[in-house]
Amino acid sequence: MRTARRTTALLLAAAALTGCGDEPDDDGNPAPSSWIRGHYTRSGAHYVDGADRPPAVADEIHRYSTATDRLVSGGTVFLRYRDDIVAVSPYLAGSRIEVEDYRTGYRRWKSHLRTAWPDPDSTSFRGGGPGSGK
């Protein structure tokens, strides 16, 4: 009997750990951070595209990994992903690309996002992007 319980416990633990892998969930899409790192030039804490304007860069990122929402405010294009925000803003003749987790990004760009996207500090915020887990 003990062996059966141990086996069951091990199988349940293995199943739980399998769900913790690096693969994206079926119910959302992660920000393409590694793709951004590989396609744009690092400049401090952000990345740059020296030639293309924000709408073109945001389109390129969106084509690689479809954002759940897109907002343009003050010349900056914001792409919303499952747990992250990608902001593409004008920078010299091109664009600056910044990736922040949703809570940090929302706080940082609240003046642009507050009327369009949910506040993660709100008691009604459920996270996970539009329509997910509600």
Residues 26-54: pLDDT tens digits? 445 778 999 999 999 999 999 999 999 99
134 confidence band (pLDDT: 50, 70, 90): very low
Residue 43 within any structural domain of the chain = yes
Question: How many CB atoms sit inside 10 A of residue 118's CB?
Answer: 16
Angle at 100 between CA 27 and CA 71, to 5 degrees: 70
Structural domain total, the chain: 1
Rounded to the nearest integer, the mean pLDDT of the chain is 80
Residue 108 within any structural domain of the chain = yes
124 confidence band (pLDDT: 50, 70, 90): low
Write out the residue range of the structural domain in which residue 100 sits: 28-113
Beta strands in the chain (DSSP E): 41-43, 46-49, 69-73, 76-80, 84-91, 94-101
Residue 13 within any structural domain of the chain = no
The answer to whether residue 17 scores a pLDDT higher than 80 is: no
User: What span, in angstroms and rounded, lies between the C-alpha atoms of 115 and 87?
Assistant: 17
Residue 93 within any structural domain of the chain = yes
pLDDT, greater one: 121 or 6? 121
Residue 105 within any structural domain of the chain = yes
Residue 12 within any structural domain of the chain = no
Residue 20 within any structural domain of the chain = no
Q: What pLDDT shows up at residue 5?
A: 55
